[in-house]
Structure 1
Amino acid sequence: MNVKAPEGGPLEEQRDALLARIHASRASYREQLHAVDVGDAASPSMKELMHDPVNHPFPRSQSMRWLLSHPWLIAGGVAALVIIGPRRAVSGLGRAAPLVSSAAAMITTTLQDPAKMRVATRGLASLTQMIRSRR
């Protein structure tokens, strides 16, 4: 049972208008993507913008533009972090290691026993309910 729609009706017009919009958006997307210069002198093409450091479209953030334009300062900051960082991290881990190992042991024993898991979930649920009631 094939029923054909009448030709030239409002559905045909809507379809044609939709197809025209699709083709127009594809054309504008291709122009932006491939940096095709359409001859409009007012707006520069993407290819021209890529070589202009001031009006470059990427990155949009001014702070990221500053970071990309000062690579030596960034390298110096990373070097300072590498020199200073490990000493503090090792000393911090030395103090936190017993706490981390005892927490890991508690979690593994809880996960091995279903009864302990039920008690833990009930305890967490009551703790969250208490925190919500205080707000």
Structure 2
Amino acid sequence: MEFHHSRPIYEQIVEEFKKKLIRKDVEPGEKIPSQRELAQEIKVNPNTVQRAYREMENEGITQTLRGKGTFIVEDRRMIRRFKKEMGQKTLNRFLEEIEALGYKKEEIPSLVQDYIQDQEDRKDSGTE
């Protein structure tokens, strides 16, 4: 896991768990690594992981069962909500950047469609 210095690491850890849920790399009900294990794995201070886990519990993503570990909460609606929220954030960043390049809102759909078509053409021709 690579971290960006622009945001707190614990927030990036929480975001990574949300992405893993969306991609189905982790499933509802699944046990996640202990705080100590994860800290060693991603090479960060255990207190940072502890804060991330506390945040995930506050957000209702995880539940800690004493003596058993920390588990992803079984709530599939939560995953759909995360996917929508993260998709909207990504789209907002994209729109801000593309508009900063001087594109008008009405030009953006054709720009995106052209990009998608180019990718499909490359895939079909085997030049990807």
Which has the greater radius of gyration?
1
The answer to which structure has the higher strand fraction is: 2
Task: Report the TM range for the smaller structure's normalisation.
Answer: under 0.3
The answer to which structure has the higher helix fraction is: 1
Bigger relative CO (Cα 8 Å, ≥ 6 apart): 2
Q: TM-score, normalised by structure 2?
A: 0.26
